[in-house]
Amino acid sequence: MAERRSGAAEALARLSEWADAHLSLLRNLSTAMAVAGALLLVRSLRLTTKFTSALDIPVEFVQKNVKLRGKLHHVTERGLEVEHVPISIPFITAIQRKWQPQGLLLVRLAGVELAPSGMAWLQRELKPQQMMWFQLLGRDDLALECLVLVNKGRFLSVCLNEEILRQGLGRAARIEGLHHDSRMYWKLHKRLLRAELRALKKSKGIWKEESYSERIRDRISNNKFVQTLKQFVNWLRNSM
């Protein structure tokens, strides 16, 4: 029995000596395994993948309303043309860039019907190459319906969907991509309606009240007697 204990102790001692001698190797192996595991996890979630089309984005991303980061390129009548900027991992990202595809995502402001003044405001306020976050709410074959967030200062971010309505530069509309009976739909829709109501109360943008002279002029031009008189004058001119 004593001999067995002595042999086990000796084996344990040798194992401990080997571990001490190769401690750095074990640490490097454990680190490598941890990094490999993290990379496999990230790869499985496709967080490092650069999306260049709405159809490239996994359905799960849209269903879970994932936030993606992007760089603005153009403000168009169809929406914002944004270059997706995926999560960056040292060394791996540098290698991926060599074969990453090129292309821009078309991002729309969900729940907002832009007025012409709203388009002009976006073109004036947003700068090319500006970074932004866009939360996926829905998509079709060509475009993404999103909440778009931009940084204003170091600690402040602004939701463009709400800001457009708050400035009276558009109207609240149906949020495409979300089920109308879902909690998230009504939560976001209330936010947009509150922003629109603020502009309405302050008569901002499209809600700005016409002046008294403009209202009088419109009433006169819409008066039936005035319209009949105009038609009679035009008839006299044509018959002479």
Could you report the per-residue pLDDT of 118-133, keeping only the tens digit for each? 999 999 999 999 999 9
- CATH T-level assignment (fold) for domain 54-207: OB fold (Dihydrolipoamide Acetyltransferase, E2P) (2.40.50)
- β-partners of residue 107 are 80, 144
Q: Which residues have a Cβ under 8 Å from the Cβ of 146 and sit 6 or more positions away? A: 107, 108, 109, 110, 134, 135, 136, 137
pLDDT at residue 27, as a whole number: 55
pTM greater than 0.75 (yes/no): no
3-state class of 224 per DSSP?
helix
Q: Residue 173: how many CB atoms within 10 A of its CB?
A: 16
Residues 68-80, mean pLDDT to the nearest whole number: 95
- Residue 12: pLDDT above 60? no
Pairing of β 143-151 and β 131-139: antiparallel
Q: Which helix (H) or strand (E) holds 150?
A: strand 143-151
CA-CA distance, 158 to 219, in Å (whole number)? 40
| Of 231 and 71, more confident | 71
Q: What average pLDDT does the structure give for the chain? A: 78
CA-CA distance, 231 to 237, in Å (whole number)? 10
pLDDT band at 26 (very low <50, low <70, confident <90, very high): very low
